[in-house]
Amino acid sequence: MSTKEKILDAALTLFAENGYDGTSVEQIANNVGIKAPSLYKHYKGKEDILNALIDSAEERYEVMFGSEKNIGKVPQSREEFIKVTMERISFTMRDPIIRKTRMLLVQEQFRNERISEATTRHQLDGIQRMFAKIIKGMMDEGIVVKDDPKLLAVELTAPAVLQIARSDRQPQCEKECMEYIEKHLRHFCKVYMR
C-alpha cells in the first residue's frame, strides 16, 4: 500500500470513529507513521483527504453495488432477483471501506453539503432510482406485475436501509438484519412477482 493509500485508510478510520472535526491532520499522520508536513506532499489538507475518500468510495460502490446508471443485468426470476439483491446488500453491510464511509456520512451529513448529497444519494434517492429501473425492466419482461416502479422501489428499499443502519449501530445484529432483509425480499417477490 502506498503512503497516499495509507493516509486515506487511516483518515477513513479516524473520521468514522471521531468525526471529521474530531480528527486532526497530525492524528492521521501519526497513524500512518509519518510527520504531518509529509502528509502535505500527498494531500493539500484534511478537506482534500475527505474529498479523495468520498470519490474513492463512490467509485467502489459504483463497481461493486451499482447505480441508476449501472443496474447490471435485469433479473429474470424471483430467485435471481433475491440472490443479486442480497449480494448487493451483503457488500454494503460487510465491506469495511463502505461501512466506515457510511458511518462517516451519517455523522457528517449535517455539516458538509457534499456529504449530505452523497448520503441522500446512497441511502435514499439513488438506490430507489436504481431499483425503480430494475423493477421497471422486470415489469417489461412480465416478471413483476404492472404498478408504479418508483413506489415499489421505495417499498423494497426502505426496510433494507433501516436494517443496514441498525447493523451499523449494533454489529452483533448483522445476521438478524440480513435474515430480516431476505425475508422482506421474499415477501416483496411473493406479492409483486409472477
In the chain (194 residues long), the average pLDDT of successive 10-residue segments reads 94 94 95 93 95 94 92 95 97 94 90 89 91 97 97 97 94 97 97 94
Cβ–Cβ < 8 Å for 39, 32 = yes
Chain Cα centroid distance, residue 97: 9
pLDDT tens-digit series, residues 123-163: 889 999 999 999 999 999 999 999 999 999 999 999 999 99
Helix (H, G, I), strand (E, B) or coil at 13: helix
Q: How many CB atoms lie within 10 A of CB 57?
A: 22
- CA dihedral 157→161→163→166, nearest 10 degrees, is -170
- Cell 449480494 -> residue: 87
- Cell 475527505, located at residue: 50
Q: What domains does the chain contain, in order, with CATH numbers?
A: 3-192 (1.10.357.10)
Helices (H), 77-173: 78-94, 96-108, 113-120, 126-140, 149-169
Taking the mean position of all CA atoms in its chain, how far away is CA 27?
A: 26
Q: What is the reported pLDDT for 112?
A: 87
Angle, CA 188 vertex, CA 185 and CA 192 arms, to 5°: 140
Please list the residues that pair with 144 across neighbouring strands.
193
Helix 96-108 to helix 46-64 angle (10° resolution) is 130
CB 18: neighbour CB atoms within 10 A? 13
Q: What is the pTM of this model?
A: 0.88
Please give the pLDDT value at position 5: 94
